[in-house]
């Protein structure tokens, strides 16, 4: 079995610099970020704050000091992070109460470095139709794939379920064993194992590293379902043929969808799949699992209801966007300015209906016209933000350089 990440140097300054800059994007003005800059640059926070707030383009010196400090900590394996704080949060989409981990900015930096260092592992092990929290694998991608599959009349049955308390019930011991088997790099393993040990229970919801590890852990179930569950078909000429029982598999983090050509094949595959998930991964499939007749029923996943006749948005998502669209339309009709927060909300929620059967609704509420307006508002704000205070910031930059000297 070929192992990954053998040639990755986790102490490489370019890797650390890219991870730090990506992690800090949009977080420059946070209090913990400013305190971290102060710690590494040996400059008082009051001298750093004006630069962070008004001229992020002048932050290179401070970022370089963080990169140098983090690099030395990784070389010496002297990682120091604050304990993760946990709080309860209600998921607006389904009403579930989730325990969210709030990490210190320094641990977030380590998360990014670990993920970037394990890029080869994730590229090779994560499966094509894993759609949870992965770049270019969003809800639109998954919904389009499902629609294509079920439009094939040979696909008659589907099974849908999810894992009970997935993040919390992932076995750290099993996860470490799998990582050790797949990664041939002790420096990466040392950092990743340190970060895993900071989580309470299994993995931590809200952690950048956790979302990749969660996808990696369940990729074993994906491979098993799509490659290992087989059946033997005997022909009249006394020959036998081995074929896959499962036709298609899609995962949205811990939401599982399996499609097969017949109900008999699907039930046999589900029994084997659930046994594997329970015995090998130590996870429990929820009792709410259901079999779906694709000729008459729809699949409710990825925020959409997908059937052979249509692809529509889930009611709760549609209602939220309609409410936002009405507010924007009223502002436009009254010739009032659209608040920045409302414009951002409009752009974000538009993605839920973009590729659904909502042409009449979009025409009625002038969705494309208002979307263009909202994008212009956000774009104008970003340009002003980047150009704001250059003259004023010069004095603060000089003060910062004098204090650091």
The Cβ-side half-sphere exposure at 52, using a 13 Å CA radius, reads 23
Residue entry with tokens 């002048």: 58
Give the integer Cα–Cα distance in Å for 288 and 302.
17
Triad 176, 138, 218: Cα angle to 5°: 25
Last residue of a domain, one of 287, 306, 325: 306
The answer on 333 and 280 residing in a single domain is no
The answer on 333 and 383 residing in a single domain is yes
Q: What is residue 225's predicted lDDT score, i.e. its pLDDT?
A: 94
Residue entry with tokens 């990755």: 8
Strand partners, 128: none
Q: What is residue 398's predicted lDDT score, i.e. its pLDDT?
A: 39
Q: Is residue 105 part of a domain?
A: no
Q: What is residue 387's predicted lDDT score, i.e. its pLDDT?
A: 61
Last residue of a domain, one of 290, 306, 322: 306
Strand partners, 162: 255
Q: What is residue 400's predicted lDDT score, i.e. its pLDDT?
A: 42
**What secondary structure does DSSP assign to 250-294, as a single string?**
EEETTEEEEEESSHHHHHHHHHHHHHHHHHTS---B-TT-EEEET
Taking phi first (over 0 means left), then psi (-120 to 50 degrees means alpha), and beta for anything else, what does residue 88 get?
A: beta
Q: Quick one: what percent of the chain has pLDDT higher than 70?
A: 92
Give the integer Cα–Cα distance in Å for 21 and 265.
49
Q: What is residue 55's predicted lDDT score, i.e. its pLDDT?
A: 66
Residue numbers in the chain where pLDDT is lower than 70: 1, 53-57, 92-94, 385-405
The answer on 331 and 280 residing in a single domain is no
Least Cα distance to 259 among 212, 297, 202 occurs for: 297
Q: What is residue 372's predicted lDDT score, i.e. its pLDDT?
A: 93
The answer on 125 and 39 residing in a single domain is no
Q: What is residue 399's predicted lDDT score, i.e. its pLDDT?
A: 41
Q: Is 99 helix (H, G, I), strand (E, B) or coil?
A: strand
**What secondary structure does DSSP assign to 142-184, as a single string?**
HHHHHHHHHTSTT--EEEEEEBTTHHHH--HHHHHHHHHHHB-
Q: What is residue 327's predicted lDDT score, i.e. its pLDDT?
A: 93
Q: Is residue 298 part of a domain?
A: yes
Query: pTM of the full predicted structure?
Result: 0.85
The answer on 299 and 316 residing in a single domain is no
The answer on 137 and 167 residing in a single domain is yes
Q: Is residue 220 part of a domain?
A: yes
Q: Is residue 3 part of a domain?
A: no
The answer on 264 and 190 residing in a single domain is yes
- Label residues 162-191 b or e (16+ Cβ within 10 Å = b): bbeebbebbeeeebeebbeebbebebbbeb
The answer on 184 and 162 residing in a single domain is yes
- For residues 53 and 392, is the Cβ–Cβ distance under 8 A? no
The answer on 153 and 302 residing in a single domain is yes
The answer on 130 and 175 residing in a single domain is yes
Residue entry with tokens 């400013």: 34
Residues with Cβ within 8 Å of residue 361, at least 6 apart in sequence: 322, 353, 367
Q: What is residue 94's predicted lDDT score, i.e. its pLDDT?
A: 67
Give the integer Cα–Cα distance in Å for 202 and 214.
10
The range of the structural domain enclosing residue 21 comes to 13-81+397-404
Q: What is residue 215's predicted lDDT score, i.e. its pLDDT?
A: 95
Q: Is residue 104 part of a domain?
A: no
Q: What is residue 104's predicted lDDT score, i.e. its pLDDT?
A: 92
Give the integer Cα–Cα distance in Å for 249 and 255.
11
The answer on 67 and 37 residing in a single domain is yes
Q: Is residue 86 part of a domain?
A: no
Q: Is 374 helix (H, G, I), strand (E, B) or coil?
A: helix
Number of domains, the chain: 3
Q: Is 93 helix (H, G, I), strand (E, B) or coil?
A: coil
Give the integer Cα–Cα distance in Å for 228 and 348.
39
Q: Is residue 90 part of a domain?
A: no
**pLDDT digit string, tens, across residues 185-241:** 999 999 999 999 999 889 999 999 999 999 999 999 999 999 999 887 777 777 877
Q: Is residue 114 part of a domain?
A: no
The answer on 300 and 172 residing in a single domain is yes
Burial class (CB in 10 A: 0-12, 13-18, 19+), 197: exposed
Last residue of a domain, one of 260, 281, 306: 306
Q: What is residue 323's predicted lDDT score, i.e. its pLDDT?
A: 93
């Amino acid at each position: 079995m070929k192992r990954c990440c053998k040639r990755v140097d986790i102490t490489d300054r370019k890797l650390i610099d890219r991870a730090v800059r990506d992690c800090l994007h949009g977080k420059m003005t946070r209090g913990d970020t400013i305190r971290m800059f102060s710690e590494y640059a040996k400059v008082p926070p009051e001298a750093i704050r004006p630069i962070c707030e008004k001229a992020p383009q002048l932050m290179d010196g401070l970022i370089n000091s963080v990169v140098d400090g983090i690099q030395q900590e990784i070389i010496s394996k002297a990682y120091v992070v604050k304990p993760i704080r946990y709080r309860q949060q209600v998921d607006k989409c389904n009403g579930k109460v989730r325990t969210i981990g709030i990490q210190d900015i320094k641990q977030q930096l380590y998360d990014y470095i670990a993920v970037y260092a394990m890029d080869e592992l994730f590229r090779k092990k994560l499966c094509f139709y894993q759609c949870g929290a992965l770049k270019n694998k969003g809800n639109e991608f998954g919904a389009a794939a499902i629609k294509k599959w079920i439009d094939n009349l040979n696909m008659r049955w589907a099974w849908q379920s999810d894992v009970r308390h997935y993040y919390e019930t992932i076995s750290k011991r099993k996860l470490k064993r799998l990582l050790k088997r797949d990664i041939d790099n002790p420096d990466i393993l040392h950092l990743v194992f340190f970060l895993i040990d900071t989580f309470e229970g299994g993995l931590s919801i809200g952690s950048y590293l956790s979302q990749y590890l969660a996808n990696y852990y369940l990729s074993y179930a994906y491979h098993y379902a799509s490659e290992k569950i087989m059946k033997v078909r005997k022909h009249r000429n006394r020959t036998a043929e081995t074929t896959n029982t499962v036709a298609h598999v899609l995962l949205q983090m811990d939401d599982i969808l399996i499609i097969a050509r017949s109900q008999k094949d699907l039930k046999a595959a589900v029994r084997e799949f659930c046994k594997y998930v329970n015995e090998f991964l130590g996870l429990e499939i929820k009792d709410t699992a259901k079999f779906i007749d694709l000729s008459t029923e729809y699949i409710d996943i990825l925020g959409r209801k997908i059937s052979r006749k249509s692809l529509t948005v889930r009611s709760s998502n549609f209602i939220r966007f309609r409410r936002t669209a009405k507010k924007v339309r009223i502002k436009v009709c009254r010739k009032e300015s659209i608040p920045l927060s409302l414009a951002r909300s409009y752009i974000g929620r538009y993605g839920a209906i973009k590729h659904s059967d909502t042409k009449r609704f979009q025409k009625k509420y002038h969705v494309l016209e208002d979307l263009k307006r909202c994008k212009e508002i956000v774009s104008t704000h970003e340009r002003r933000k980047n150009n704001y205070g250059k003259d004023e910031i010069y004095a603060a930059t000089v003060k910062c350089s004098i204090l650091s000297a």
